[in-house]
């Protein structure tokens, strides 16, 4: 594709510019591709030079030129409903004086090809034709003029152009593709700068016309009139005074006078600033392009330029086609709630196509659900599971049949061998009986009664003729028999569906008389495997009968490559599971096969165990805080663990498997329980160009597993070279959809998330993001069809491929996403640290951006103290060494040794941190050893992590020096109440942007932490702050201190358990932060309650009363209620009841309390402690306290702990119209 040069652009009569000044000066015109194309040149984005662009929704200035001075210019932008007078979008440029060009601006709001039409109005008021580009070759022309002139044709079926050359039948003239354009006249100027007649006396201006006529215009102060003497024209200036415009007036009148030698050859027009524009009346060649004067101090002349001559036919169009680049759509994500309870997360079941291996196959056994108890000793604990079975149960059958080597004849089989013989094949659809008809014999259908069924089989003929595969008139070869069987199987259909596929016929190693042939076929319907007739199964049978056709010897008998199982039907089922260890197959009562979706889980025995948390005596009950988890099996056939094995963790470190959990404090969980579902809605996203529409919605649920088609090995966010963007969400299963909404459910995974002292999971956060793809298709480097999302790419959002040159010409809504920096070093104290660019790892969401283990690429460097000011190392840090030297030490272990650097063009105030820790690895892969309510820094595997944040600011108000000041942040990645636990859970770091936060880039004026070379990358590295922080932006530095859990020998330093996956700012329209909360309620049954408990069951009624006072009562609902629990503050209270109650009230911890009735049935009250009162009497009387609990719901239990009603009910009565998956409890 050729691109115009600046000189070539000047040849066009319609040009575009970035600014009005450029348009008026006719400089820096936007470039076009194929400037000599007969079909018309296209002004588009890819053709532009660096720093320029051509985008929709950007204002550009346009210059229209005419070959004579005109009073008006008209341009139809071709973006109206059509080109008719009423519906066209036309701009009118009206000039105070006639001019040769007009200037206007326009904004296109669509991305497609536009074919502008231009015309002019002469000084006499006559309108020219509309001129436009043909914009096509022959029958491929795309330019039409609907509503303007529907009769004119630009193409014909033969490819000829009707409108070739100037026409006399239409108001439209199509230039290009054989049409001759009007030649362009050359113009020049003469400007007078002195008004004194004496000063300009005898001054001359020499002008030559196109035909070679030269006239010397001489200003004469001694004349009071003009004299026209052929090659000399005297202009009388006697008495001229005042403004130089008088001289210009006299000069223009002389040039245009009928007696002047230049009449009908040159036209003069007086303009502003005493300037006269001279135009050659003969358009085309410029003639002598020099206009000369002998008085340069009083007269300024510019020679003739711009003349262009077009030869008839075959001239390129000089009216371009406009094709503004697409402005990417805008992703807008909204959610119906930002806080949800942990529920049933079926995403980890294999039936959803997201749990796939590195070979893009579904991980084995992931349709199997296994019940596992957090206390492995509770081997009698049960959970009742309601689930939908996968409809596609069973397996696809693959069968093999082998022909015998021969029958009655050594060369093959005769009609005697075929007579009455049948091969029965039974599928889940039909039973077929295949028999041979050889050369027209055996025409009678044999008996189709078979031992496996009551109804006769469907007869299928296998036809063999003499000559087939070596057969004679009397003998059919084994090869012919095999071919006939394959052909017959291929023709069998059931309800227009082929019954057998994958037909293959294997020849023997040596083809000879009596050779055997093997036929392999598949039955695609999953379920029962087809049965091939075999000895003892069918009667009669080609296989079983002596002298039969198909081999009955065991070695060659019909065989199956897989065993069949009963087909499942997709119905809803229930099964009660007994919790077992993490060993699959050890007890069928602990597993359910082929689960498509778990709908409901219910704890069977809701009585509290009488031993203790983690106890082993009361094995059929749970103790408060213990749970039964439903796990999707990740069994790989070798390692029996239901959790990811080490190879699985390496191939796909984000695999999870927890579907849901039940406990005494949350004994029932349903897929659509109130408060567990979040609706993510991206339908308010918008395309910018009105001729585009949304093609796909991408919604990332932040579960760190996409189900992409290469086994979850693709980065979740990566560059897309085709569409010129640096960050695009992966096309994973359940990521991309034509639907703009997505139902989200999350479940806490017991081996990733931390629990507090009440055995409740700490709330965790997830960042849900949306990206939109519109219908714009790729056009060279104009493929920008995907909405921007936050990234840390130091280049630009739209600089993949050759589009990199366009970054400076992007629209503001695009350019604001350009550029980001995200760097890490674990050698912050060295003179020159080693820096790592985290961009690719961060957007991948597959491997940690940093962690504690040395196995990680970006491992946190360990310290021994947060900051000991008296240590020698502190005052003599490692940065005294040359870090590029191999002998450089890194021995200063006080304070932060790790640093994160981040920068964004737009100011931000919140950062989301996604972690994926591994509690199982921290417990040496022993589920029973997983620590609850850890002690940061001493529980094995869990280091102390402390963070501080700095921002750049001027040292003083008027200083040019930039220093790094401390930033006050709210760290919600910490565990509540536990210091030094930064990055322990997924959450946000938020702050108020300081008013003195300097938007800047790396320079020598910046004083970095530690030492001056802190910004540099070690050796020849190019990932330093000075390498990446090259654009003005808002930056932060995170300084991170890690102290391991066991004096520099903590297990976390060698095992991958503490892992931070990604960090993103999220103050944008396409991101939503949601919080996942544990719905488990904490038991109050072990706390001493010193006062009676009372509650009121109250319904909601509608009373209908007549005038006589008689009422009718109708129950329309039920109300909740509250209870009061009181106690005394005893000094020796081992449960610290008052302190715990204060904690429950302060933190709004969900609670439950059991009221035991005389018949041993239980009413379990669930609620939240809303207030707490304390009474501290005088005289050393024991203090008392009381708490109010707002009851949210209750359970009614029988004496065995079974739920007697249909789940949760309000305190005031039964729930009206309860939905059920099954019409049973």
Q: How far apart are alpha carbons 278 and 217 in whole angstroms?
A: 13
* Helical segments of 1111-1211, H only: 1137-1147
Q: Name the band, by pLDDT with cuts 50, 70 and 90, for residue 509.
A: low
Token pair, residue 497, equals: 């569906």
CA of residue 772 relative to chain centroid, distance: 7
Numbered ranges of CATH 2.40.30 in the chain? 1082-1197
pLDDT at 1147 > cutoff 80: yes
Strand 497-498 relative to strand 493-494: parallel, antiparallel, unpaired? antiparallel
Q: Name the band, by pLDDT with cuts 50, 70 and 90, for residue 997.
A: very high
- Considering 412-426, 771-785, 866-880, 1159-1173, the range whose residues carry the highest mean pLDDT is 1159-1173
pLDDT at 1061 > cutoff 90: yes
Q: Name the band, by pLDDT with cuts 50, 70 and 90, for residue 1148.
A: very high
Q: Name the band, by pLDDT with cuts 50, 70 and 90, for residue 540.
A: very low
Please give the pLDDT value at position 245: 84
Q: How far apart are alpha carbons 833 and 1009 in whole angstroms?
A: 12
- In Å, how far are 187, 266, 558, 845 from 278, measured between CA atoms? 6, 6, 100, 69
pLDDT at 752 > cutoff 70: yes
Least confident of 34-38, 622-626, 654-658, 801-805: 801-805
Across the chain, what does the average pLDDT equal? 82
pLDDT at 1203 > cutoff 70: yes
Please give the pLDDT value at position 5: 67
Please give the pLDDT value at position 198: 72
Q: Is the distance from CB of 872 to CB of 901 less than 8 angstroms? A: no
Q: Is the distance from CB of 722 to CB of 747 less than 8 angstroms? A: no
Q: How far apart are alpha carbons 632 and 387 in whole angstroms?
A: 13
pLDDT at 1151 > cutoff 90: yes
Please give the pLDDT value at position 310: 55
Burial of 992 (0-12, 13-18, 19+ CB in 10 A): exposed
Please give the pLDDT value at position 451: 62
Per-residue pLDDT tens over the stretch 843-892: 888 889 999 988 888 999 998 888 765 555 444 444 444 444 544 556 67
More confident residue, 644 or 1080: 1080
Q: Name the band, by pLDDT with cuts 50, 70 and 90, for residue 919.
A: confident
pLDDT at 2 > cutoff 70: no
Q: Name the band, by pLDDT with cuts 50, 70 and 90, for residue 530.
A: very low
Numbered ranges of CATH 2.60.40.10 in the chain? 6-182+318-323
pLDDT at 755 > cutoff 90: yes
- The verdict on pTM exceeding 0.85 is no
Q: What value does the mean pLDDT take over residues 562-578?
A: 72
| Best CA proximity match to 143, nearest among 3, 323, 310, 312 | 323
Q: Name the band, by pLDDT with cuts 50, 70 and 90, for residue 930.
A: confident
Q: Name the band, by pLDDT with cuts 50, 70 and 90, for residue 396.
A: low
Q: How far apart are alpha carbons 628 and 597 in whole angstroms?
A: 18
Please give the pLDDT value at position 494: 83
**Cα 150-152-153 angle, rounded to 5 deg:** 110
Please give the pLDDT value at position 110: 92
Burial of 5 (0-12, 13-18, 19+ CB in 10 A): exposed
Q: Which fold has domain 1082-1197?
A: Elongation Factor Tu (Ef-tu); domain 3 (2.40.30)
Per-residue pLDDT tens over the stretch 555-566: 333 444 444 445
Q: Is the distance from CB of 531 to CB of 541 less than 8 angstroms? A: no
Q: How far apart are alpha carbons 331 and 346 in whole angstroms?
A: 27
Phi/psi region, residue 897 (left: phi>0; alpha: psi -120 to 50; beta: rest), is: alpha
- Considering 77-86, 443-452, 1132-1141, the range whose residues carry the highest mean pLDDT is 77-86
| Best CA proximity match to 708, nearest among 681, 728, 683 | 728
Sequence-distant (≥ 6) Cβ neighbours of residue 582 within 8 angstroms: 370, 372, 631, 640, 641, 642, 643, 927
Please give the pLDDT value at position 432: 83
SS3 state of residue 396: strand
Which H or E element spans position 788? none
SS (H, E, C) 888-925: CCCCCCECCCEEEEEEECCCCCEEEEEECCCHHHHCCC
| Best CA proximity match to 393, nearest among 520, 553, 571 | 571
Which residue shows structure tokens 């696809």? 396
Per-residue pLDDT tens over the stretch 625-665: 999 999 887 655 544 455 666 556 555 566 778 999 999 99
More confident residue, 206 or 46: 206
Q: Is the distance from CB of 846 to CB of 718 less than 8 angstroms? A: no
The arrangement of secondary structure in 6-182+318-323, i.e. its CATH architecture, is Sandwich (2.60)
pLDDT at 1023 > cutoff 50: yes
Q: Name the band, by pLDDT with cuts 50, 70 and 90, for residue 539.
A: very low
Instruction: Give the rounded percent of residues in the chain with a pLDDT score beyond 70.
Output: 80
Bridge-partner residues for 106, per DSSP?
A: 60
């Amino acid at each position: 594709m050729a691109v115009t040069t600046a000189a070539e652009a000047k040849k066009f009569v319609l040009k575009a510019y970035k600014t009005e000044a450029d348009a008026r000066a006719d400089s820096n015109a936007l470039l076009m591709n194929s400037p000599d194309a007969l079909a018309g040149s296209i002004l588009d984005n890819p053709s532009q030079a660096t720093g320029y662009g051509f985008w929709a929704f950007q204002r550009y200035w346009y210059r229209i030129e005419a070959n004579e001075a005109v009073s008006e210019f008209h341009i139809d932008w071709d973006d109206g409903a059509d080109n008719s007078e009423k519906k066209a979008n036309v701009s009118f440029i009206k000039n105070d004086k006639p001019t040769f060009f007009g200037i206007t601006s326009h904004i296109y709001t669509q991305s497609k090809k536009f074919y502008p039409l231009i015309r002019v109005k002469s000084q006499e008021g006559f309108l020219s034709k509309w001129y436009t580009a043909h914009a096509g070759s022959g029958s491929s022309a795309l330019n039409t003029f609907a509503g303007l002139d529907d009769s004119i044709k630009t193409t014909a079926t033969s490819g000829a152009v009707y409108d070739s050359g100037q026409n006399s039948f239409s108001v439209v003239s199509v230039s290009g593709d054989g049409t001759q354009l009007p030649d362009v006249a050359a113009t020049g100027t003469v400007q007078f700068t002195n008004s004194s007649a004496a000063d300009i006396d005898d001054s001359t201006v020499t002008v030559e016309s196109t035909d070679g006529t030269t006239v010397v215009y001489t200003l004469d102060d001694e004349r009071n009139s003009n004299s026209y003497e052929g090659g000399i024209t005297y202009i009388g200036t006697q008495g001229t005074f005042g403004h130089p415009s008088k001289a210009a007036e006299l000069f223009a009148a002389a040039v245009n006078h009928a007696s002047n030698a230049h009449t009908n050859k040159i036209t003069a027009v007086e303009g502003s600033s005493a300037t006269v524009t001279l135009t050659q009346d003969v358009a085309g060649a410029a003639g002598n392009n020099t206009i000369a004067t002998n008085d340069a101090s009083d007269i300024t002349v510019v020679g003739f330029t711009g003349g262009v001559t077009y030869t008839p036919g075959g001239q390129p169009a000089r009216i371009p086609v406009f094709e503004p680049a697409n402005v990417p759509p805008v992703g807008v994500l909204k959610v119906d709630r930002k806080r949800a309870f942990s529920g049933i997360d079926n995403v980890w079941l294999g039936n959803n196509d997201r749990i796939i291996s590195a070979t893009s196959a579904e991980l084995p056994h992931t349709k199997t659900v296994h019940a596992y108890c957090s206390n492995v000793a509770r081997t009698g604990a049960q959970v009742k599971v309601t689930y939908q079975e996968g409809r596609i149960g069973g397996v696809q059958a693959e069968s093999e049949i082998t022909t015998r080597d021969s029958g009655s004849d050594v060369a093959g089989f005769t009609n005697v061998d075929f007579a009455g013989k049948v091969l029965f094949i039974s599928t889940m659809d039909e039973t077929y009986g295949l028999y041979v008809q050889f050369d027209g014999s055996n025409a009678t259908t044999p008996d189709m009664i078979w031992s496996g069924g009551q109804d006769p089989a469907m007869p299928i003929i296998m036809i063999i003729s003499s000559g087939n595969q070596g057969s004679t008139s009397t003998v059919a070869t084994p090869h012919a028999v095999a071919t006939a069987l394959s052909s017959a199987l291929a023709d069998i259909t059931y309800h227009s569906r082929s019954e057998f596929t994958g037909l293959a016929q294997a020849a023997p190693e040596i083809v000879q008389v009596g050779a055997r042939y093997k036929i392999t076929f598949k039955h695609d319907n999953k379920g029962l495997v087809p049965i091939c007739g075999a000895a003892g199964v069918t009667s009669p049978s080609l296989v079983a009968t002596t002298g039969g056709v198909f081999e009955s010897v065991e070695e060659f008998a019909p065989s199956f490559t897989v065993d069949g199982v009963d087909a499942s039907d997709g119905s809803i089922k229930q099964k009660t599971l007994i919790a077992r260890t993490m060993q699959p197959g050890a007890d069928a009562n602990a597993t359910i096969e082929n689960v498509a979706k778990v709908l409901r889980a219910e704890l069977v025995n809701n009585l509290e165990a009488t031993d203790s948390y983690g106890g082993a005596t009361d094995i059929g009950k749970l103790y408060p805080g213990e749970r039964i988890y439903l796990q999707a099996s990740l069994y790989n056939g070798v390692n029996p663990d239901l959790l990811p094995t080490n190879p699985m963790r390496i191939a796909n470190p984000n695999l999870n498997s927890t579907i849901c959990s039940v406990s005494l404090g949350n004994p029932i969980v349903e897929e659509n329980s109130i408060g567990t579902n979040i609706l993510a809605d991206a339908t308010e996203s918008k395309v910018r160009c009105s001729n585009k529409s949304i093609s796909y919605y991408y919604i990332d649920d932040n579960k760190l597993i996409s189900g992409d088609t290469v086994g979850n090995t693709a980065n979740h966010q990566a560059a897309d070279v085709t569409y010129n963007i640096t960050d695009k969400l992966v096309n994973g299963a359940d990521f991309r959809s034509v639907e703009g909404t997505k139902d989200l459910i999350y479940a806490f995974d017991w081996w990733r998330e931390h629990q507090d002292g009440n055995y409740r999971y700490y709330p965790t956060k997830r960042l849900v993001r949306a990206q939109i793809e519109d219908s714009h298709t790729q056009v060279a480097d104009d493929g920008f069809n995907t909405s921007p999302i936050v990234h840390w790419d130091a280049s630009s959002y739209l600089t993949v491929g050759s589009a990199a040159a366009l970054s400076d010409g992007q629209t503001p809504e695009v350019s604001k996403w350009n550029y980001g920096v995200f760097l890490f070093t674990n050698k912050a104290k060295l003179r020159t640290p080693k820096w790592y660019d985290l961009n690719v790892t961060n957007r991948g969401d597959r491997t940690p951006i940093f962690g504690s283990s040395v196995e990680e690429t970006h491992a946190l460097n360990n310290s021994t103290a947060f900051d000991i000011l008296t240590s020698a190392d502190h005052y003599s840090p490692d940065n005294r060494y040359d870090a590029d030297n191999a002998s450089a030490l890194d021995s200063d272990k006080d304070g932060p040794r790790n640093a994160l650097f981040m920068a964004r063009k737009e100011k931000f105030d919140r950062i989301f941190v996604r972690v994926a820790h591994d509690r199982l690895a921290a417990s040496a892969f022993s589920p029973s050893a997983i620590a609850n309510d850890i002690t940061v820094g001493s529980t094995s595997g869990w280091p102390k992590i402390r963070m501080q944040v700095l921002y750049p600011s001027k040292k003083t108000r008027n200083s040019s020096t930039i220093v790094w000041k401390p930033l006050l942040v709210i760290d919600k990645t910490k565990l509540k109440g536990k210091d030094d636990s930064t990055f322990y859970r997924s959450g946000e770091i938020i702050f108020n942007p300081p008013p003195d936060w300097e938007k800047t880039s790396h320079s020598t004026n910046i004083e970095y932490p530690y030492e001056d070379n802190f910004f540099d990358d070690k050796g020849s590295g190019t990932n330093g702050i000075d390498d990446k922080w090259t654009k003005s932006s808002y930056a932060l530095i995170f300084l991170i201190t890690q102290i391991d859990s066991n004096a520099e020998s903590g297990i976390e330093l060698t095992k991958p358990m503490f892992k931070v996956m990604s960090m993103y700012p999220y103050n944008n329209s396409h991101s939503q932060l949601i919080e996942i909360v544990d719905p488990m309620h904490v038991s109050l049954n072990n706390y001493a309650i010193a006062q009676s408990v009372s509650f009121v069951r109250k319904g909601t009624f509608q009373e209908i009363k007549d005038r006589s006072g008689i009422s009718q009562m109708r129950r329309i609902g039920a109300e909740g209620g509250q209870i009061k629990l009181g106690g005394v503050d005893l000094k020796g209270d081992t449960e610290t009841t008052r302190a715990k109650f204060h904690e429950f009230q302060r933190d709004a911890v969900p609670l439950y309390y059991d009221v035991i009735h005389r018949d041993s049935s239980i009413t379990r009250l669930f609620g939240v402690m809303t207030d707490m009162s304390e009474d501290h009497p005088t005289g050393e009387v024991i203090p008392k306290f009381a708490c109010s609990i707002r009851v949210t719901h209750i359970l009614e239990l029988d004496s065995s702990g079974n739920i007697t009603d249909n789940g949760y009910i309000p305190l005031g009565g039964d729930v009206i119209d309860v939905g059920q998956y099954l019409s049973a409890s």
